Amino acid sequence: MPTLFGTPLRRKEDPRLITGHATYTDDIRLPGMLYAAILRSPHAHARIRSVDASEAVRAPGVVRVYTGRDLEGRLGPIPTAWLVPDADLKTPPHPALASERVRYAGDGVAMVVAESRAAARDALERIRVDYEPLPAVVDAEKAMEPGAPLVHEEVPGNLVLHWRAGNGAEAAERAIAQAEVVVRRRLRNQRLIPTAMEPRAAVAQYNPATGELTLWLTSQNPHIHRVLLSGALGVPEQKLRVVAPEVGGGFGSKIPFYPDEALVAFAARDLGRPVKWTEERSENCRATTHGRDHVQEVVLAGTRDGRITALRVRAVANLGAYLSTAAPGVPTILFGLITSGPYAIPHIDVEVFGVLTHTTPVEAYRGAGRPEATYLLERLVDLYAREIGMDPAELRRRNFIPAHRFPYETPTGLTYDSGNYERALEKALEALDYDGLRKEQEEARKRGRFLGIGLSSYVEICGLGPSKVAGAVGFQGGLWESAVVRVHPTGKVNVYIGSSPHGQGEETTFAQVVADELGVPVEDVEIVHGDTAQTPMGWGTYGSRTTPVGSGALALAARRVAEKARKIAAHMLEAAPEDLDFRDGAFQVRGVPERKATIQQVALQAYLAWNLPEGMEPALEASAFYDPSNFVYPFGTHVAVVEVEPATGQVKLLRYVAVDDPGRVINPLIVDGQVHGGVVQGIGQALWEGAVYDENGQLLTGSMMDYALPRAGFLPPIETYRTETPSPVNPLGVKGVGETGTIASTPAVVNAVMDALAPFGIDHLEMPLTPEKIWRAVREAEARKGGAAA
Amino acid sequence: MIPAAFDYARASSLEEALRLLREAGPEAKLLAGGQSLLPMMKLRLAEPPLLVDIGGLAELSGIRLEANELAIAALTPHAELAGSAQVAEAFPLLARAAAGIGDLQVRNLGTIGGNLVHADPGSDLPAVVLALEGRIVLRGPAGERVVPAEAFFLGPLTTAIEPGEILTEVRFPLLEGRTGTAYVKHPHPASGYAVVGVAAVARLAPDGRVEEARLGVTGVGLHAYRARAAEAALRGRRPDASAIEEAVAHATDGVEVNGDLYASEEFRAHLCRHHMAQALREAVAAAA
């Protein structure tokens, strides 16, 4: 059988994307289309005394202005769809437009619909809103204090969830009390702005005669959007079509169901004309969900000889002003359960407080919970290594779950499918020439140059996931995937998938899988996705799940097609099905190679149906629904090498080595690309990115002039390596690789900078590690030591 | 991302542009490369009722080498400054500073005239123009006047240009003797503007002492400035480590140092001293 599996094919989707022939939501233009613009609150917290839109309504080109009052009883509240159990979860209502109170700077107050984008934008300035500003709280810990301003009056203490995980708080407490070494830290995992290249957009069209509504949307999960929109809008699901055309990145920020798209759909139906809304970049900073934002009190206990005995985590997660669609699951299920990381830790105790503040809602952001867990664990492991004077690589080696203990059950209740953590670590150390580099570092220090080497070993929960687990953890949906594989009369193939890739390259990856299973050229396979009218149900692209779960469905469907084709071929060749070999795209009678039928010949016969086996249905297609039996757990070790210039605080990245084990690799080129992108975003968190609010709730980093994203020139070449430990859970042995880079790279870089600063006695600084922070820390350290270290 | 409504007029000559400006009044804006003005209009931080487009005027284009100066016309884009052999030969620091502005698209469209007139406190070119003692040529209804760089930059987004005037060119006196130059910058990681940018010109006497040092600083104060006290401290001295250290101690004398989210006043002043020392070392090395 020809094998495309493992071949670095160039992406099929790229020619259209890089030559301007792709259709994004904002490219859609419909006859008679209107344009919407949304008025957003400038205040983080205020009572709305009145909204006067009379002047805006009379402005040139304006068709309609909607305020919160106009929607009451007509457009349902925006739902939260991950109802984490045993967490005392509160889900305060989220109106599509605020009518009584605004709760963050960016909260929608009114929507203008006009004949042009410019007219809609101009009219926003003619709406008079009388606000009574109220005290705001932006810091989650302050929001928990008695007397703090309440974001929602029905949520006392602003506490929306309180959740625990682990195998016993008392046992962990005892282990900590009895430990030879205890490392305690307070860590901040700062708030990030996902900043997809394409901002959000929506176009809605309603046919009053049929009652059908179509919504084109920048979505990672059009089927979920359809279900939620159907509820909020009262349009029955069979009349509702959601299309995610080309989507220019999401990183989690295009998972949620936002007020804006509900408003666009509502207006299109109300006005009987198509309506388009496209977010501006400054809106994207304020009104599209943010990520991370934890304060963590963490304790790691261990022995003098480097055995971890217990971990305790108390995290306060800032969830913003409203609970976004999947928000409750991120700092709980996706964070707390993975705190064991790649280590065998006897006792784990995790406690999470989810808190509302007057800030933009916080959602999943590439990695979603797992970067926050990996960061705290990898920082603690390095601090522990420094405390006992052990090499950080050796400390990791001593605590890894050994390869023979898989499947491994963690104290948090997960079952890791497969792994060989030490092999990935050793490969990274070898690629790096770790021992040589340590000597170089030693030499450099003597000459006043400060090199740092930072390790980060990780394990990720991905391939979300078994639906029964989804149900058990309160996710309001399934987590299976589906595929229809349709071989046409000419032998060409369309595959209709439920998942909704938006830049990850699955049109290529999936074509490789199907071409392999059916023995057809990869050019003959086209993947159709992202349109609820064309594709079967799927649960979306996030959590590194599309390749592991989607390809599971795909492989099963393709195998069913191949099975039917074998029966038809056997009938054509007058042989028994089991006497046929299927290779190079043809069924051959074993031992009589000239007696054969190609898959294309079989397809034609399947459609002609002149002479099919008795009782067989015509055509050649099959569908499959794949619900995985477990999550999959990719892992690896990343290493960053940096040089820090103490005089300016500048960090220069010298090398970056990534060893990832995503199970079997379908397309190594695409896997490298995913690792590169993820690593870069994770480095961004370590060194540059950070959303900052002032105490009144104004976002100070609300533009790309202030919010520093990584640029190509800031980065070294990324050296990617892999080990391969197939997943026993997945039909293809694949895991997932979309988020590993982001999960691993942040602590690798921070550990490297702290390693560089070790001669100054500096062992922790908060992210992002900006020049001023480093310069101040060095200066203070020198003042303490009387300048001895420099 | 949608500007407020505005009128647009394309000038076919400098005279016409002057006339259009005069007729429209002080709220009208000139459009050249548009790399600062258009983003401000899109954010509605600027809402000029009229744009007078001078982008196509040949009489405001080109680099001319004259007897003892290089005249750079207002519409010269940064990419041309960065790529011009004449500029690289006469003023390597100008080429270097221009090459570090924005990105390729910005450098292809943004112009020296627009950059200087906009006078962003973190813009690179003002520091260079100060260090090179560029003379800024302005044409107005009353004719032409020449303003020395040091009298041109008055505050954030504020210069000596009067309503109705157009910056037509900048004249740079050619460097003489054993002179070296440098431009050293700490860019903001997001905007790319100078958190601190220091342009240095150092002329050495035959015995290696500093005859003249000129230091232009951007990013640090409300506008780009000459670090006169630091210059004076170097004059007549051998440019060794201690002389440089003593000089840069005066890097921000008399300047109200900016502080922001990225760099506090204290850190920015430190960076200014650090980069000034670096620029001086490089300029001295280039002279020697």
Mutation pick from A38, A685, A772 vs chain B, by most beta carbons of B within 10 Å, is A772
Express each pLDDT in B152-178 by its tens digit.
999 999 999 999 999 999 999 999 999
Nearest residue on chain A to B190, judged by CA atoms? A708
* Residue A562: Cβ within 10 Å count: 20
**Minimal Cβ distance to A706: which of B5, B190, B264:** B190
At residue B11, the pLDDT reads: 97
| Contacting residues of B for A705, CB less than 8 Å apart | 188, 190-191
Question: Which residues from A are below 8 Å from B188, CB to CB?
Answer: 705, 708
Residue A790 banded pLDDT, cuts 50, 70, 90: very low
Which residue of chain B comes nearest to A687, CA vs CA? B189
Chain B residue at shortest CA distance from A645:
B274
Read off φ and ψ for residue A188, nearest 5 degrees. Answer: -115, 125
User: Which residues from chain A sit within 8 angstroms of residue B1, using beta carbons?
Assistant: 280-281
Tell me the per-residue pLDDT of A420-469, one tens digit each, with 9 for 90 and over.
999 999 999 999 999 999 999 999 999 999 999 999 999 999 988 899 99
- The minimum CA-CA distance between A296 and chain B, rounded to whole Å, is 24
C-alpha–C-alpha distance, residues A513 and A471, integer Å: 30
Instruction: Give the mean pLDDT of A615-632.
Output: 96
Question: For residue A57, what pLDDT is reported?
Answer: 98
Q: What residues in B contact A700, CB-CB < 8 Å?
A: 261
Q: By the 8 A CB rule, do A653 and A749 touch?
A: yes
| Cα–Cα distance for residue pair B121/B106, rounded to 1 Å | 18
Q: How far apart are CA B274 and CA B245, in angstroms?
A: 9
Contact by Cβ (8 Å): A388, A181: yes
Peptide bond just before A768 cis, omega within 30 deg = yes
**A121 at interface of B, judged by CB pairs closer than 8 A:** yes
Q: Which residues of chain A does B274 touch, with a Cβ-Cβ cutoff of 8 Å?
A: 647-648
CB–CB of A263/A70 below 8 Å?
A: no
Sort out which chain B residues have CB atoms less than 8 A from A708's CB and list them: 188-190
Q: Tell me which residues of chain A, numbers 661 to 720, contact chain B at a CB-CB cutoff of 8 Å.
A: 688, 692, 700-701, 704-709, 711, 714
Q: Mean pLDDT over residues A337-347, rounded? A: 98
Q: Which residues of B touch A (CB under 8 A)?
A: 1-2, 4-5, 43, 186, 188-191, 261-264, 267, 270-271, 274
Residue B13 to chain A, least CA–CA distance (Å): 31
Mean pLDDT, chain B, integer:
97
Instruction: State whether A706 and B270 contact (CB < 8 Å).
Output: no
Using a CB-CB cut-off of 8 Å, the residues of chain B touching A707 are 190
Cβ contact B191:B101 at 8 Å: no
Residue A691 · residue A190 · CB < 8 Å: yes
**What is the residue type of A51?**
V
* Residue in chain B nearest A691 by alpha carbon: B261
Give the residue on A whose Cα is nearest the Cα of B1.
A280
CA distance B283 to B211: 13
Measured in degrees and rounded to the nearest 5, phi and psi for residue A747 equal -65, -30
User: Among all chains, which residue has been given the structure tokens 């157009």?
Assistant: B166
**Terminal alpha carbon distance of chain A:** 64
Q: Do A122 and B186 touch (CB under 8 A)?
A: no
User: What pLDDT is recorded for position A787?
Assistant: 52
- Cβ neighbours of residue A76 closer than 8 Å, sequence gap 6 or more: A231, A232, A233, A234
| CA–CA min distance A771, chain B (Å) | 8
- Give this complex's ipTM: 0.96
Helix, strand, coil fractions of chain A, as percent rounded to 5: 35, 25, 40
A208, burial (CB in 10 Å: exposed 0-12, middle 13-18, buried 19+): exposed
Mean pLDDT of A89-116: 97
A772 touches chain B (CB under 8 A): yes
Test A705 with B264 for CB contact under 8 angstroms: no
Residue B62 Cα, gap to closest chain A Cα (Å):
31
The predicted structure's pLDDT at residue A3: 85
Give the span between the Cα atoms of A397 and A306, in whole angstroms: 10
Chain B interface test: which of A116, A687, A701, A706 (most B C-beta within 10 Å): A706
The answer to which of A1-15, A272-286, A600-614, B60-74 has the lowest mean pLDDT is A1-15
CB contact under 8 A, A772 and B189: no
The number of C-beta contacts closer than 8 angstroms across A and B is 45
Order of strands, sheet of A586-589, starting from the edge strand that comes earlier in the sequence: A580-583, A586-589, A592-598
Residue A555 pLDDT exceeds 90 = yes
Supply A304's token pair.
């003098």
Of A282, A707, A772, the CB nearest to B190: A707
Question: Closest Cα of chain B to A100: distance in Å?
Answer: 28
- Token pair of A177 as six digits: 């009390």
> Which among B188, B261, B274 has CB closest to A648?
B274
The dihedrals phi and psi of B250, each to the nearest 5 degrees, come to -100, 15
Tell if the CB–CB gap between A775 and B270 is shorter than 8 Å: yes
**pTM of the complete model:** 0.97
Among residues A676, A786, A364, A698, which one has the least CA distance to residue A545?
A364
With a cut of 90, say whether residue B57 has pLDDT above it: yes
Measured CA to CA, the distance from residue B184 to residue B96 in angstroms comes to 9
Residue of chain A minimizing CA distance to B2: A118
Residue A2's pLDDT band (cuts 50, 70, 90): low
The partner residue sitting opposite A708, judged by closest CB among B1, B2, B189, is B189
| pLDDT reported for residue B76 | 98
Cα angle A776, A781, A783; round to 5 = 95
Minimal Cβ distance to A770: which of B5, B262, B271: B262
Closest chain B residue to A278, measured at CA: B1
Flag whether pLDDT at A789 surpasses 70.
no
For the residues A34-51, what does the mean pLDDT come to? 98
**Phi, psi for residue A653 in degrees, rounded to 5:** -85, 120
Q: Who wins on pLDDT, A300 or A789?
A: A300
What pLDDT score does A343 carry? 98
Rounded Cα distance, A703 and A286, in Å: 9
Q: Which residues of B touch A648 (CB under 8 A)?
A: 186, 271, 274
Contacts of A709 in chain B (CB under 8 A): 190
SS3 A227: helix
Contacts of A775 in chain B (CB under 8 A): 267, 270
**Closest Cα of chain A to B256: distance in Å?**
19
Answer yes or no: are the C-beta atoms of A586 and A623 closer than 8 Å.
Answer: no
Count, residues in chain B: 288
- Collect all residues of chain B within an 8 Å Cβ-Cβ radius of residue A768: none
What own/partner pairs with CB < 8 Å and gap ≥ 24 does B134-137 have? B134/B170, B134/B171, B134/B172, B135/B170, B135/B171, B135/B172, B135/B173, B136/B167, B136/B170, B137/B167, B137/B168, B137/B169, B137/B170, B137/B171
A714 contact residues in B (CB cutoff 8 A): 189
Both tokens of residue B236? 């007549």
Facing residue for B4 by CB, picked from A122, A775, A776: A122
**Contact of B202 with B98, CB cutoff 8 Å:** no
DSSP labels, B225-271: EE-HHHHHHHTTS---HHHHHHHHTTTTTT------SSS-HHHHHHH
Pairing of strands A46-52, A128-133: antiparallel
Q: Do A122 and B190 touch (CB under 8 A)?
A: no
Which parts of A352-478 fold into alpha helices (H)?
370-388, 392-399, 421-432, 434-446, 467-472
B191, B263, B270 member nearest A705 (Cβ): B191
For residue A460, the distance in angstroms to the closest alpha carbon of chain B comes to 30
Q: Nearest chain A residue to B266 by CA: give it.
A: A772
Sheet containing B210-218: give its strands across.
B178-187, B194-204, B210-218, B225-226
Q: What is the DSSP letter of A548?
A: I
Candidate from B2, B43, B267 with C-beta closest to A117: B2
Q: What is the pLDDT of residues A647-673, one digit of tens each?
A: 999 999 999 999 999 999 999 999 999
Q: What is the mean pLDDT of chain A?
A: 96
Choose among B1, B5, B267: nearest Cβ to A772: B267
- Tens of pLDDT, residues A569-580: 999 999 999 999
